[in-house]
C-alpha cells in the first residue's frame, strides 16, 4: 500500500462523533417557519449579455431579512423550443466572491441548463447586508453574530440560499423536478445545507465544501474559519460560545437530513477545507453519494470535473465512493 492509498484508507474510515446542540431540531424548525412566513418580494428585469444565446434577468429577492439579494437568472435560448421547462443549477459562490457575470456560467448554459446564480450577502457582489450586529467582529464576515446562533451570519446566508431555491421554483421556465444546488467551498457548504433543510427535490453538488466538522476546521483551516480562530484569539473567554454557535451550521450534525443524491469533491492537499472535514460528513451520508478525490489538489477542482458533474446530474443515482 503506497502513501496515498494509506491516506485515503484512513480518511474513508474517519468518523468523528458530532456534538450537536440539544435544541438543534427546534432551532431549524423555528428558522424554517420564519423564512416561510416572509414574502420573497422577488423581481426580475431583462438584461443584455454578450451572447445572443443567453436570456438574462437581473433578479432581487428578500432572504433572511430586508436585504435585497441580487442574482442572475440565465436561460439558454436554444433549449427553450416549444416552451419546454428547463432543469436549473442554483449556484452559490465561494467566500469573498459573487454571482459573477452571465457569460462565466456558459458551461452550464451550453449543456441546456438554466442557472440561478446569487450573491452571498455583504461579500464581493452587489448585495449589501442588513443583518444586525450586536458585538465586534474579526476581519471578514463570518464572525458577525458568532456568539448567538439566532443572530449568526451563517443563519442569514443559509436562509438566503433556501429562499433562492424557493424563488427560482416559482419561475415559469423552470422544471421544479430537476433542481440542482451547487457550489464550491462556502458555496459547497450552502449547497449541502439547502439539500439538508429544503423539502424540494434536488440534487446536490458540493465541491470542496466548507461548513463540515467545523470544530476541526477552526483549529486547522487557513480559510474563512481562520476568522473565527482570530476572534477567539482576541476573546479567549468566548471559545465555548463560538463553538456552540458553529455547531448549529455544521453538516456533521445535519448529514442525516440529506436524502438527495450528492456529489462531493475533496483535494487531499487542501488547507482551506481540509480533507478530514469533508470525509467526516461524506462517510456518514447514507443516501446516494459520490466523491471525487483530487490527490494533489489544494483548494480547487480540476478542469475535467465538469464532465463528472454533468454525468452525476444525468444519472439516475450517484455511485458510492467513486474517485478520480
Helix/strand number for the chain, H first, E second = 10, 9
The rounded distance, in Å, linking the Cα atoms of 180 and 205 is 7
The single residue of 70, 253, 299, 305 carrying the catalytic annotation is: 299
Is residue 282 a contact partner of residue 291, using CB atoms and an 8 Å limit?
yes
Is 270 noted as a catalytic residue in this protein?
Answer: yes
Closest CA to 290 of 317, 269, 316: 317
The single residue of 198, 253, 270, 305 carrying the catalytic annotation is: 270
Is residue 179 a contact partner of residue 200, using CB atoms and an 8 Å limit?
yes
Find all residues with CB under 8 Å of 311, minimum gap 6, and list them: none
The single residue of 138, 185, 221, 247 carrying the catalytic annotation is: 185
Q: Is 95 annotated as a binding residue?
A: yes
Is 169 noted as a catalytic residue in this protein?
Answer: no
Strand-pair category, 174-184 with 68-76: unpaired
DSSP element (H, E) containing 291: strand 289-294
Matching residue, cell 464572525: 143
69 forms bridges with which residues in the sheet?
A: 61
Is 152 noted as a catalytic residue in this protein?
Answer: no
Which residue ranges make up the annotated binding site? Answer: 95
Which residue ranges make up the annotated binding site for substrate? Answer: 95
Write out the catalytic residue numbers.
Answer: 185, 270, 299
Amino acid at each position: 500500500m503506497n502513501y496515498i492509498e494509506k491516506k485515503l484508507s484512513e480518511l474513508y474510515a474517519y468518523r468523528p462523533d458530532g456534538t450537536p446542540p440539544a435544541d438543534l431540531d427546534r432551532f431549524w424548525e423555528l428558522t424554517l417557519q420564519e423564512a416561510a412566513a416572509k414574502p420573497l418580494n422577488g423581481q426580475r428585469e431583462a438584461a443584455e449579455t454578450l451572447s445572443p444565446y443567453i436570456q438574462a434577468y437581473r433578479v432581487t429577492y428578500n432572504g433572511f431579512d430586508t436585504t435585497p439579494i441580487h442574482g442572475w437568472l440565465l436561460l439558454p435560448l436554444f433549449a427553450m423550443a416549444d416552451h419546454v421547462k428547463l432543469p436549473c443549477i442554483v449556484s452559490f459562490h465561494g467566500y469573498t466572491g459573487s454571482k459573477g457575470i452571465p457569460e462565466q456560467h456558459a458551461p452550464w448554459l451550453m449543456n441546456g441548463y438554466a442557472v440561478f446564480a446569487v450573491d452571498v450577502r455583504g461579500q464581493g457582489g452587489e448585495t449589501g447586508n442588513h443583518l444586525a450586529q450586536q458585538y465586534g467582529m474579526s476581519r471578514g464576515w463570518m464572525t458577525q453574530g458568532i456568539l448567538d446562533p439566532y443572530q449568526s451570519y451563517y443563519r442569514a446566508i443559509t436562509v438566503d440560499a433556501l429562499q433562492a431555491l424557493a424563488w427560482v421554483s416559482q419561475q415559469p421556465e423552470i422544471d421544479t423536478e430537476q433542481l440542482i444546488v451547487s457550489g464550491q467551498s462556502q458555496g459547497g457548504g450552502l449547497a449541502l445545507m439547502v439539500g439538508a433543510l429544503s423539502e424540494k427535490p434536488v440534487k446536490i453538488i458540493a465541491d470542496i465544501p466548507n461548513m463540515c466538522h467545523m470544530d476541526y476546521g477552526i483549529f486547522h483551516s487557513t480559510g474563512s474559519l481562520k476568522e473565527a480562530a482570530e476572534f477567539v484569539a482576541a476573546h479567549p473567554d468566548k471559545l465555548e460560545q463560538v463553538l456552540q454557535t458553529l455547531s448549529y451550521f455544521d453538516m456533521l450534525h445535519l448529514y442525516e437530513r440529506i436524502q438527495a443524491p450528492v456529489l462531493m469533491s475533496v483535494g487531499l492537499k487542501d488547507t482551506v477545507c481540509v480533507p478530514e472535514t469533508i470525509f467526516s460528513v461524506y462517510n456518514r451520508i447514507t443516501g446516494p453519494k459520490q466523491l471525487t478525490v483530487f490527490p494533489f489538489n489544494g483548494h480547487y477542482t480540476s478542469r475535467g470535473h465538469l464532465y463528472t458533474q454533468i454525468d452525476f446530474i444525468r444519472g439516475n443515482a450517484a455511485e458510492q465512493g467513486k474517485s478520480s
